[in-house]
């Protein structure tokens, strides 16, 4: 075992990366979420973890707890199959149990395509990068009338798997699942470094810009399943991103300590603790 709990994946037998993710009805999705999207997403979120660690997805065990068979389960299963086909995952088994509320856990295994990449390799002077537009999925659940695009980002996330596997230059990476404001401090803590986020560099999707507090949405909106990573200055990140059809934006830099936001105030009040630390 080389990488242990606390990272996106565990690694066993040298090259086998492992990750598990649970989605709970009423917590991670609501009654409005199509069952097919729940099935798709529970696979995609684990693919996102494997990509961050630089492992190509191989197999999945799926544990489904639900009230019983029926159209919901049929649609859920179609979504699982969609995602498995899209990301090259082979469903090898699992368990189905009865329960009054849907709980679903995906356990995915994948083969490392290089040394495992963790959250702990960032160094002061590295650039800080993100794929996609942070907060778009968040706009999908925060907005009273989300756009089709924001809803799609929320329900059908497409982790940048091929890009993540090809990304040699990154010194540290993690998938963006809880939002920048939660995930960046984790990456910094794991690496023993700080970061400076530049508000002017944050790519704001029109749906995020249309939110009452766009910066809050971009920083606190979770569920993006994009890649947050660090790389030395001069790495050809944008060219690689373009080659893989992925948006990548430099949003700041790694520093010695503290997490600072430049060009804006932290959205109040939930973010007060960042100002104190910065």
- Contacts to a second copy by CB under 8 A: 1, 4-5, 7, 9-10, 12-13, 16, 18-24, 26-28, 58-59, 61-63, 65, 90-95, 97-101, 103, 105, 107, 109
Label residue 94 exposed, middle or buried (CB < 10 Å: 0-12, 13-18, 19+): middle
Distance in Å, CB of 204 to a second copy, minimum: 30
Nearest to a second copy of 157, 203 (CB atom) = 157
Question: Which residue has tokens 């019983």?
Answer: 68
Distance in Å, CB of 46 to a second copy, minimum: 9
Distance in Å, CB of 265 to a second copy, minimum: 30
Question: Residue 46: enclosing H or E segment and its boundaries?
Answer: helix 35-53
Nearest to a second copy of 5, 148 (CB atom) = 5
Distance in Å, CB of 20 to a second copy, minimum: 4
Answer yes or no: are the C-beta atoms of 12 and 89 closer than 8 Å. Answer: no
Answer yes or no: are the C-beta atoms of 130 and 176 closer than 8 Å. Answer: yes
Nearest to 173 by CA among 191, 157, 156: 191
Nearest to a second copy of 115, 265 (CB atom) = 115
Strand partners, 252: 128, 197
Answer yes or no: are the C-beta atoms of 83 and 89 closer than 8 Å. Answer: yes
Nearest to a second copy of 31, 100 (CB atom) = 100
Nearest to a second copy of 37, 127 (CB atom) = 37
Distance in Å, CB of 14 to a second copy, minimum: 11
Q: What angle do CA 29, 30, 32 make, to 5 degrees?
A: 120
Strand partners, 259: 195
Nearest to a second copy of 12, 114 (CB atom) = 12
The gap from C-alpha 24 to its chain's centroid, in whole angstroms, comes to 17
**Which residues, in sequence order, are CB contacts of 132 under 8 Å at separation 6+?**
153, 160, 176, 203, 224, 226, 246, 247
**Tokens of residue 132, six digits:** 């996609």
Distance in Å, CB of 29 to a second copy, minimum: 12
């Amino acid at each position: 075992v080389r990488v242990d709990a606390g990272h996106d994946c565990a690694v066993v037998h040298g090259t086998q990366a492992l990750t598990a993710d649970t989605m709970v009805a009423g917590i991670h999705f609501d009654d409005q979420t199509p069952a097919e999207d729940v099935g798709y997403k529970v696979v995609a979120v684990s693919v996102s973890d494997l990509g961050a660690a630089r492992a190509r997805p191989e197999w999945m065990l799926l544990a489904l707890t639900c009230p019983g068979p029926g159209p919901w389960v049929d649609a859920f299963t179609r979504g699982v199959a969609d995602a498995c086909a899209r990301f090259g995952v082979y469903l090898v088994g699992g368990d189905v149990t009865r329960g009054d509320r849907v709980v679903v856990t995906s356990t995915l295994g994948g083969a490392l395509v290089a040394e495992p990449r963790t959250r702990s390799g960032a160094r002061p002077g590295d650039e800080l990068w993100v794929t996609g537009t942070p907060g778009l999925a968040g706009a999908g659940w925060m907005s009273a009338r989300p756009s089709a695009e924001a809803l799609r980002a929320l329900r059908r996330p497409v982790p940048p798997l091929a890009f993540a596997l090809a990304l040699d230059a990154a010194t540290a990476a993690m998938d963006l699942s809880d939002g920048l404001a939660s995930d960046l401090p984790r990456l910094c803590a794991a690496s023993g470094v700080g970061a400076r986020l530049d508000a002017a560099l944050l790519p704001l999707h029109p749906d995020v810009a249309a939110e009452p507090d766009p910066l809050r949405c971009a920083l606190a909106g979770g569920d993006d399943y994009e890649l947050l990573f660090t790389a030395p200055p001069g790495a050809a990140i944008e060219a690689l991103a373009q080659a893989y059809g992925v948006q990548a934006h430099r949003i700041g830099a790694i520093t010695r300590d503290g997490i600072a936001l430049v060009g804006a105030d932290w959205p109040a009040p939930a973010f007060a603790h960042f100002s104190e630390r910065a």
